[in-house]
Amino acid sequence: MIKNERQLAITKQQRDRLTGSLAALGDRRTPDPLKRARIAALEADIGKLDAEVARYREAVSGRVDFTAIGHVATVGDDLISARIAVGLTQEELAARVGSKAQQIQRYERDHYMKASLKTLAKVASAIVASHREREEEARVTQ
């Protein structure tokens, strides 16, 4: 995430370098699969940088969704509810995040207030992945 004008300038320079590399590779319709993979990777990286620049420009202009910030206080309860909603036990969630069930129990007892942001992200990703898996299973069985 770009946090200031200096980082914005660096990001733009990086994008220019990637764009130059992409141009040097030539046509993406090449029969060479390795070349096509390099082109796709460069295009993806350029897309990510473009998204970062756009997000920074929106923030500078004042166009930010401030409602999401208010939800930080309830993230613990939201994670617990989401875990239950997708049908994961604490043990299953622990296995998905590479933890022990007792650690998940402690996090939930404290409503995740002592968990790091990294841990919150891992738990949220595991719950979302489980939800997607269950949706896919439901689609397949229909």
- The distance of Cα 49 from the centroid of its chain, to the nearest Å, equals 15
pLDDT at position 63 is 82
3-state helix, strand, coil in the chain (%, to 5): 80, 0, 20
pLDDT at position 64 is 77
Helix (H) or strand (E) holding 30: none
User: Which two structure tokens, joined as six digits, stand for 111?
Assistant: 């409503």
Tell me how far apart the alpha carbons of residues 36 and 33 are, in angstroms, rounded to a whole number. Answer: 5
Is the whole model's pTM more than 0.85, yes or no? no
Q: Which parts of the chain register pLDDT below 70?
A: 68-70
pLDDT at position 70 is 66
